[in-house]
Structure 1
Amino acid sequence: MTMKRNLFLAGAMVLASAGLARAEMAATAINDLTIHAGPGTQYPTVGVATRGSETILDGCVAGSQWCRVDVSGMRGWVYAQYLQMDRGGTQVIVDQNQADLDIPVVTYETTAATGPAEPAPGDELLGPVGSVETIEPPQTVTTYIESNPGSTVEVGGDVVVGAQVPGTVTFQEIPDYQYRYARINDRPVLVDPGTRRIVYVYN
């Protein structure tokens, strides 16, 4: 099966407020960050910033979990759940505190694009971009999944670590755990919600 690939030729960020006039907003990566050229996993990967990297936050898309940052010499978009900032001496997650942190609002406009915005069911899973380190889930997570198996979703391609799950697949939250759960082709998997990449496959 031929994989459909997104080719985003150009894009532009437009500040919806006077964000450029504000003082720089510093944030820290609480996990390895995959940096994309636009606010979504369908955009090309710019690079990866390691956990603990200091970033300069430009702003976030209104009603979205995507923010634009400058980190390790790279500029791009990352998932706000993996950024934290200081608020009154306490480190808080950007995704959950955008209003309280007074994060500038930005918008993104693509000037040209071809291909679907997200892979559709039946398309092959996208392969990994670079290496994806397999995690080892705790027993509490395994027990939770066994007690809440959920419905299986049929998707073409091999269910392997590093494969990107199509945007039409809904993930199941796991209490007190950063990764999400899905059952793909009757294979339970753990998925990074920011990159939509599989990080663990249960045998």
Structure 2
Amino acid sequence: MSLKRNLLLAGVILAGSAGLAQADMSATTATDIEVRSGPGAEFPTVGVATRGSEATLDGCIEGSRWCRVDVNGMRGWVYAQYLSVEQNGASVVVQDHRDDLGVPTVTYEQTDPLKTGSVQAPQPGPNDQLLGSVDQNGNDVVAITPPEEIRTYIDDNPVDAVQLNGDVAVGAEVPQSVEVHRIPDYQYSYVEVNHQPVLVDPGTRRIVYVYR
């Protein structure tokens, strides 16, 4: 692992001792996920890894859901609950089996932004509407695969887009003030957030699918 590649992430990555003797792990993305340049929603998005993409898992930050991966030519950070690894012939979620899988521990140390030229993400104002954080209370949100006719219905029945601060990702909660729109004969509703159509569980208001 070269220092040059690490600096491209505007930080220095240090592998924990538990992972030094271990080879990189192979993982698969469980849904479409945003790959970020650092371990946090405030970091810029490098790109989107589509569902089922093969990834190389370097390791995860201890006590955090963020893991560093190489996927589809991108190097960055993703949520551990959206990565799966083969274990004894079965696919298991990295977040739920980190100890069993022996996932290496990595740390992230951000370098001085004045030296790297990086720009700090703007903070939302007190009156800005926010997407709720991804559910971390054990209520795992399972990403769905909607039928093609659902996208056709959404395209044929456009709604006004809403602008919200936050990460448009599976598991994020849509504020109560935002109207979600029913789809006939379908259990999920839809809304357009930041010009991206998303499917929402009307009961929990959690996003279950993001159309890219």
What interval of TM-score do these two structures reach, taking the shorter chain for normalisation?
Answer: 0.5 to 0.7
Measure the CA separation in 2 of the matches of 1:47 and 1:105: 24
TM-score if structure 2 supplies the norm length?
0.58
Give distance in 1, aligned partners of 2:162 and 2:85.
Answer: 35
Which amino acid letter does the alignment assign opposite residue 36 of structure 1? R
Do 1:165 and 1:198's aligned partners in 2 also have CA atoms closer than 8 Å? no
Q: 1:83 matched to which residue of 2?
A: 83
Higher strand share: 1
Match of 1:17 in 2: 17
Q: After TM superposition, give the deviation of residue 106 of structure 1 in Å.
A: 0.7
Deviation at 1:30, TM superposition (A): 1.1
Task: Determine if the alignment matches structure 1 residue 159 to structure 2 residue 151.
Answer: no
CA contact (8 A) 2:130 2:175 kept: no
Q: Does 1:26 align with 2:26?
A: yes
Per the alignment, residue 152 of structure 2 pairs with none
Structure 1 letter corresponding to 2:89? G
TM-aligned CA deviation for residue 98 of structure 1: 0.8
Residue aligning to 1:40:
40
- Larger helix proportion of the pair: 2
Query: For the structure 1 residues 112 and 120, does the alpha-carbon distance in structure 2 shift closer, same or farther, using more than 3 Å as the test?
Result: farther
Q: CA deviation at 1:88?
A: 1.1
For residues 78 and 12 of structure 1, the distance between their equivalents in structure 2, rounded to whole angstroms, comes to: 17
Aligned to 1:56: 56
Q: Report the CA distance between 1:198 and its aligned residue.
A: 8.0
Aligned counterparts, 1:62-141, within 5 A: 62-113=62-113, 115=120, 119-123=124-128
> Identical aligned pairs, as a percentage?
47
Offset, 1:18: 5.0
Tell me the distance in 1 between the aligned counterparts of 2:78 and 2:96. Answer: 15
Distance 2:108 2:53 in 1: 24
Task: Give the counterpart of 2:171 among 168, 179, 189.
Answer: 179
Deviation at 1:16, TM superposition (A): 1.9
Which residue of 2 is the match for residue 199 of structure 1? 198
2:31/2:82 contact within 8 Å kept: yes
Q: Which has the higher contact order (CA 8 A, sep 6+)?
A: 1
User: 1:125–1:159: 8 Å Cα contact kept in structure 2?
Assistant: no
Residues 17-72 of structure 1: CA deviation (Å, up to 9, x unaligned): 25243122000011112110001111011111111111000000111111000111
Q: Kindly tell me: are residues 27 and 120 of structure 1, through their superposed partners in 2, closer, same or farther at Cα, counting changes over 3 Å?
A: farther
Taking only aligned residues, the RMSD between alpha carbons, in angstroms, comes to: 3.6
Counterpart code for 1:159 = V
In 1: Cα distance, 2:77 partner to 2:20 partner: 17
Q: Verify the 8 A CA contact 2:128 2:165 in the aligned structure 1.
A: no
Cα distance, 1:68–1:184 mapped onto 2, change above 3 Å = same
Q: Deviations over 1:71-108 (max 9, x none)?
A: 11111001111110011111000111111111001111
Whether the 8 Å contact between 1:61 and 1:106 is mirrored in structure 2 is yes
Q: Could you tell me how far apart the structure 2 residues matched to 1:183 and 1:115 are?
A: 25
